[in-house]
Structure 1
Amino acid sequence: MSTLKRPDPYLGKVITAFEGGIVTRVIDHPYDSSRVFAYEVTFHLRHPRVVAVAAQKPPLHFHPYQEEYVEVLEGRLAVEVEGVEHVLGPSDSEFMLKPWCNHRLYSPVTDVREQAKKHNDGWDGEKTVFLLSGQDTDEMFRLDTVFFENWYAYQDRIVVNGDKINLIQVMSMFDAGGSYLSLPTWIPFSRTIARGLGIVVGRWIGGLLGYQPFLGEWTTDWDLACRKMEMTIFHKRFANREGTKRDKVRASYAA
């Protein structure tokens, strides 16, 4: 049984990252209303901020509770699954990422002319546009727009402001988003161990040290963020609904 749907305060919202290099528009999924989130994501491939991080792949991770779906509308998108890279284009059907699979999404470094010739769509390499959506679940700690909104904002702190990545902060945010950083697959029971580490380090230790998964200054649906944090004693103290949005409890993570 899926969670009860309520009016989505994010619908129609545009979330920007990397000073406009990545633009995410929250939409209703065009043909499956049961998806818990759906975004039209645009990578502006020649934007200076995107170019600067083009050689850096995002962290490998997995989601135990949800299927995630990717459908390319324009350009190319690389989807790495269990070490195998799939380069998707508009002629490919929706790509499903199953629960527990190690994966990451990024813009591939491609020969634009060769790719355009291969797919016969005249792609000029300026941008990639794709639909990203996810399966609904009863789990409160799950992939949803509260998670993505905060994760994009945190990445901005790293890329735009030059802050150092704080692993505990990342694990705290990922755990609250039903996501866990992948360990090498040669480690026995690697996914189980990775999920355990995400909970122990990101939720338990992180919470005790003052790391919170959602920040009032970054979050549109602060009520939902508070309800998610109230699900665990380690985050409950951060669920402060008083004051204006920018006065709400903020994380005190180390840079």
Structure 2
Amino acid sequence: MALTFDDLLLRARSLPRDGRRAILGIAGSPGAGKSTLAAHVVRELNGGGKPWVAHVPMDGFHLADAELGRLGRRDRKGAPDTFDAAGYAALLRRLREEPYGDVVYAPGFERVLEQPLAGAVPVPPDARLVVTEGNYLLLDTGAWARVRPQLDEVWFCDLDEPERLRRLIARHEEFGKSHEEAVAWVERSDRRNAGLIAPTRERADLVVPASALPDASRPSERTGRGAAG
């Protein structure tokens, strides 16, 4: 039988075991629907009761533009070496090892400004499941290799290429780029990054087909401070 969104909810709900916190990773290429899926999973599992699932996007670990400029990487923003991968892995380890202490604050990403925002995402001590999403969760080079061991499962969003590119261009336009600028950025940067991400699909615990992805037009938790999916 075809995988459905309800199947994903059941699988995510079963991850926390033996009283410990679980961390679910959602990976995929830019525009594949990671953020939308993560937001819907968190919203549906939390329902109307006391929240027990938290959403921690990887995009809060973007290096600031000032640092990218110093490093000469501003025109490659979004590439693996334009993130603090070691810091992201350290946060995941802290979330796993210190689940019952104080609130853990993670950085968010301000999509309008396209800048990281410190302390924007609170993870309460009683969050039994953390959903994190980003492009490079399954990358096995450099500091990125430290990420996968901190995750109980990783799902890979698999969206057909024309639709993925259409969504990606539309998202860039939504946040201020002209159509020509959006297409140029996708061709210059996003397509190259997708070429690094696609081979990591085979390392995922589950490949999520487009048919199981929630409709991006449905209301969700996604806001300007969310990560790009």
Under a length normalisation based on structure 2, what TM-score does the superposition of the two structures give? 0.31
Larger Rg: 1
Structure number with greater CO (CA < 8 Å, separation at least 6) is 2
Comparing both structures, which one devotes a greater share of its residues to helix? 2
